[in-house]
A = this chain, B = another copy of it.
Amino acid sequence: MAQKQCFPPPQRLLLGPGPSMVHPRVLQAMSTPLVGHLDPAFVTIMEENKRLLRWLFGTENELTIPISGTGSAGMETCFVNLLEPGDEAVVCVNGVFGQRMAEVARRCGAQVKEVHAPWGRIVDASDVRAALRNCRRPKVLAVVHAETSTGVLQPLEDLAALAREHEALFLVDTVTSLGGHPVRVDHWGIDVCYSATQKCLSAPPGLAPVTFSPAALAATRQRRHAVQSWYLDVSLLSQYWGADRVYHHTAPITMNYALLEALRIIEAEGLETRWQRHERNHKALAAGLAALGLRFAAEEGHRLWTLNSISVPESVDDAGVRGALLREFSIEIGAGLGPFKGRTWRIGLMGESSTAANVLTVLSALESLLPRFGFPVEAGAGVAAAQRVLASAED
């Protein structure tokens, strides 16, 4: 019986780059019997999800909805609706997801100017200014707020000002920041923004919250060609999610139940409290890792609270340590991607995964394992350093 072999899977502590741990209330919501996707009861749930997503994004944008796909579908939604052949876009690239943005923009037929920064560092606003000045008429400036591949948090306010100055739409990836770091779409002047459910929202993967400003929607109405994706065309989606309820596709009912319950949990905690929790647990983990002699791959002052990108010490077997964490402790952490493959570990503290207990658990597991992999550490040093941060935060 193959089923017995492969399902249910083992219990894991998810401290990788996502999915994060899912609250039991969200899991329970997913076992709720379904109603139809045009049922009045489901329409009410859609409205509540829109309301809570607006609050979470910090926006009044009417078109604020969960796309029926994962975060990458959210990215694609933003680009295919704004860009068409001949348009110019400036895309900031300092990791995998910036690269992916540039690739998706090129597949829209756009002329893409990439602004690069070394992996682990933020993109320099002066480089972005130069790229925008090099365009005839830049339609989009795109950047990743929280680069999941490097653990870097990009400051957005200077870039937003540059986009405004050049009359470009400002498109931001908040996959690994929304619900963990402050994201203020309207206040910062973001026009288009996408995220995902399986990071700091702590729902399973499967939906991609997006928001489009009135200016962005106006741009979609001035297109010369139909949007290349029928599935992700916001002019059709806004009729389905708007007052008309025009049938477009069958929304993933159960995932929308999960999103609702996850958003209600966030609402009950409060955003400020939630951000503080993510900050405190990141600082505790960082102190513990420093005490073990481990170094961050992301530059100081611009590190994510939600994803900690750590340099694998020289001579230590990257995959060996991750494998032992999974087998012996049932803890998942992430591997490096691209040029960071084999060179970094990524420890996620997102949503439900961001707890003091998880910080201490992963530090104690690393303390136990690293000496076996030829990297001596002082037993208890990491845990003790983290405990000091956690204790001082309680004062």
| Residues of A in contact with B (beta carbons under 8 Å apart) | 2-3, 5-12, 14, 16, 18-19, 21-22, 27-37, 39-42, 44-45, 48, 51, 68-73, 75-76, 80, 100, 103-104, 106-108, 196, 198, 204-206, 226-231, 247-255, 257-258, 260-261, 264, 326, 332, 337
- Kindly list the 10 A-B residue pairs having the minimum CB-CB distance in the complex, ordered from nearest: A206-B252, A9-B41, A204-B254, A30-B30, A31-B31, A72-B249, A6-B44, A27-B31, A205-B250, A69-B69
**Contact of A37 with B205 at beta-carbon distance under 8 Å, contacts A7-B261, A103-B230 already known:** yes
Q: Could you show 26 A-B contacts with beta carbons less than 8 Å apart?
A: A2-B48, A5-B44, A8-B32, A9-B35, A9-B39, A10-B41, A19-B34, A27-B31, A27-B33, A30-B30, A30-B254, A31-B31, A34-B204, A68-B206, A69-B231, A73-B249, A76-B229, A76-B231, A100-B230, A107-B227, A107-B230, A108-B228, A198-B250, A204-B254, A205-B250, A254-B258
A228 to B232, CA, bound (A): 12
Quick one: closest B residue to A255, CB to CB? B206
CB of A97, distance to nearest CB on chain B (Å): 11
Q: Pick the residue among B28, B48, B107 that contacts A31 (CB under 8 A).
A: B28
Please indicate the chain B residues that have their CB under 8 angstroms from the CB of A71 in the complex: 249-250
Q: Is the CB of A228 within 8 A of B228?
A: yes
Point out which of A2, A18, A71, A106 has the most chain B C-beta atoms below 10 A from its C-beta.
Answer: A2
Q: Is the CB of B45 within 8 A of A204?
A: no
Q: Is the CB of A230 within 8 A of B198?
A: no
Quick one: closest B residue to A7, CB to CB? B260
Q: Is the CB of A9 within 8 A of B45?
A: yes
A32 to B22, CA, bound (A): 10
Quick one: closest B residue to A52, CB to CB? B2
A254 to B28, CA, bound (A): 12
Please indicate the chain B residues that have their CB under 8 angstroms from the CB of A104 in the complex: 230
Q: Pick the residue among B7, B35, B100 that contacts A10 (CB under 8 A).
A: B35
Q: Is the CB of B231 within 8 A of A72?
A: yes
Point out which of A18, A36, A39, A261 has the most chain B C-beta atoms below 10 A from its C-beta.
Answer: A36
Q: Pick the residue among B39, B204, B337 that contacts A252 (CB under 8 A).
A: B204
Q: Is the CB of B19 within 8 A of A250?
A: yes
CB of A47, distance to nearest CB on chain B (Å): 8
Q: Is the CB of B255 within 8 A of A252?
A: yes
Q: Pick the residue among B12, B70, B257 that contacts A7 (CB under 8 A).
A: B257
Please indicate the chain B residues that have their CB under 8 angstroms from the CB of A68 in the complex: 69-70, 73, 206
Q: Is the CB of B31 within 8 A of A252?
A: no
Please indicate the chain B residues that have their CB under 8 angstroms from the CB of A254 in the complex: 30, 204-206, 254-255, 258
CB of A14, distance to nearest CB on chain B (Å): 6
Q: Pick the residue among B28, B48, B100, B206 that contacts A6 (CB under 8 A).
A: B48
Sample of 5 more A-B contacts, CB < 8 Å, known A68-B206, A80-B229: A27-B31, A39-B326, A228-B228, A247-B337, A254-B254
Q: Is the CB of B16 within 8 A of A231?
A: no
Q: Is the CB of A231 within 8 A of B73?
A: yes
